[in-house]
Chain A
């Protein structure tokens, strides 16, 4: 793959007053243009990791570098410009009184001149298909729409990386699909690197690569296919396997010759309804 955009080397972090470290000697790279899912049970350290990447917390040991800049107190503002973050609760990250004010918030913080702001607000809202909602107030928007505005707010700063920190966990299935679809489109069109922190393995299945975290350590790393092969092990870690994967496994156990384990329902269904004609 391409060159590493983020490298994390021997990073450890513990919260004050807690015995077990939240992150324990972690090292890995994130590559340009990939979609990386970080999964893990509650308290596995995945959210702490997200906070470290954005400089909301600093590692006690080890180094993090983003786009060739090493994270420190001095560089944190440059890094934040490069790493956009979308959080879990759609309401608690909406700062502006209207959609356009909210998207402009990040731009205002970075001192972007007004003429450029107006243009960027519109184009980033268009990218998430919220371009017609400029003057809408947050309480008139659905959760999925609010999260898309949050993504637009991040895009306006033209970052190289977007971190979704459980960004879909408070949404209904429709909102979740909207947000994931938006992110996928952005990733292909804008070549943005996506890091999604999640415990929803259906979401993780859409990633290029998955990192499984457990008790502050990097437990396993691989493609979704490789990770879902772990099966029982994942369940022991407090995670579940997506339904299509489970289904294909069961079918294979019953002796139905599927060519592989399917990650999405669509793929599985396609194989099933076309399989008869091959026999």
Chain B
């Protein structure tokens, strides 16, 4: 199941979206989240959907893969749709069965809201699918840089993020090791009543916590030994390059936005 989840996963590739600067991608996603709310009729939603599918096409990620990965989320979309169909009481009654009344407005709302939801998920997934986590971190660090003026710890936050990313696989391996060690000692993770299974997590978490603290301490010493003294006077190895494609994509979204404003009812 975990292999199929695409939420927060990166798929290596060489499409325009992959090569774009993470800053421009972050800006586009942020703008898109706002722009989605402009749409209020069939035309405008159609344009939004078209925009999203153009993006999917540009990412060169196979639609089948996307569909497979987003399947669990479709349930949520369907749920949103049903919720709106039954809860909205606007316009003419389209369908009636005893106490159950479905209104025209309900169908409209249901389609629009679930479509909006679906498009948002798709666009944000495209961001994580085409951008490595470390690129996202770098992008955020540069975008948030102006906040340094109000003493917001931008560098520290970015470093924390990148160290967490770096240690995820290490801690996963460790969890696996501890689980095996505890299983060998008779702890059962996959059978027994729920209460017992939850209890079995404790002897997994405690060693994991202890070793994480030890790791943190050793890492801090190693960082200090390598001359780390905070963000002051540090240079950056990773470099972000803003290209034509980045400006182009932002202008494209701007054009779409203008079109949406003109066409909204």
- Output the least CB separation between A181 and chain B (Å): 23
* Interface set, chain A 79-116, CB cutoff 8 A to B: 80-81, 84-85, 87, 89, 91-98, 100-101, 104-114
- Comparing B32-40, B72-80, B233-241, the segment that makes contact with chain A is B233-241
Q: Mark A130-161, 1 if CB is under 8 A from B, else 0.
A: 00000001110000000000000110010000
Q: Is the CB of B166 within 8 A of A138?
A: yes
Q: Is the CB of A138 within 8 A of B170?
A: yes
**Which chain A positions have C-beta within 8 A of B235?**
107-108, 111-114, 117
Main DSSP-derived SS at the A contact region:
helix
**Which chain A positions have C-beta within 8 A of B133?**
97
Q: Is the CB of B227 within 8 A of A109?
A: yes
- Comparing B54-62, B196-204, B218-226, B246-254, the segment that makes contact with chain A is B218-226
Say yes or no: A121-B237 contact (C-beta < 8 A), given A91-B170, A139-B170: yes
- Chain B interface size band reads 20 to 34
Q: Mark A151-180, 1 if CB is under 8 A from B, else 0.
A: 001100100000000000000000000000
Q: Does B261 contact A (CB under 8 A)?
A: no
Q: Mark B159-186, 1 if CB is under 8 A from A, else 0.
A: 0001101100110010000000000000
Q: Does B149 contact A (CB under 8 A)?
A: no
Closest B residue to A109 using CB positions: B227
Q: Which of A56, A89, A157 lies in contact with B224, CB distance below 8 A?
A: A56
Q: Does B143 contact A (CB under 8 A)?
A: no
* Interface set, chain A 239-269, CB cutoff 8 A to B: none
- Output the least CB separation between B138 and chain A (Å): 10
Q: Does A54 contact B (CB under 8 A)?
A: yes
**Which chain B positions have C-beta within 8 A of A15?**
none
Main DSSP-derived SS at the B contact region:
helix
- In the assembly, what is the distance between CA of A110 and CA of B223, in Å? 12
Q: Which of B166, B225, B236 lies in contact with A56, CB distance below 8 A?
A: B225
- Chain A interface size band reads 35 or more
**Which chain A positions have C-beta within 8 A of B239?**
114
Q: Is the CB of A87 within 8 A of B218?
A: yes
Q: Does B4 contact A (CB under 8 A)?
A: no
- In the assembly, what is the distance between CA of A109 and CA of B219, in Å? 15
Q: Is the CB of A95 within 8 A of B222?
A: yes
Q: Is the CB of B237 within 8 A of A153?
A: no
Q: Does B215 contact A (CB under 8 A)?
A: yes
Closest B residue to A83 using CB positions: B225
- Interface core residue of A100, A108, A118 (most chain B CB under 10 Å): A108
- Output the least CB separation between B178 and chain A (Å): 15
* Interface set, chain B 51-102, CB cutoff 8 A to A: none
Q: Is the CB of B215 within 8 A of A91?
A: yes
Q: Which of B173, B219, B227 lies in contact with A93, CB distance below 8 A?
A: B219
Q: Is the CB of B237 within 8 A of A93?
A: no
Question: Interface of B with A (CB < 8 Å)?
Answer: 133-134, 162-163, 165-166, 169-170, 173, 214-215, 218-219, 221-229, 233-239
12 contacts between A and B (CB under 8 A): A80-B226, A89-B218, A91-B215, A92-B214, A92-B218, A92-B222, A96-B162, A101-B134, A111-B234, A111-B235, A113-B235, A137-B169
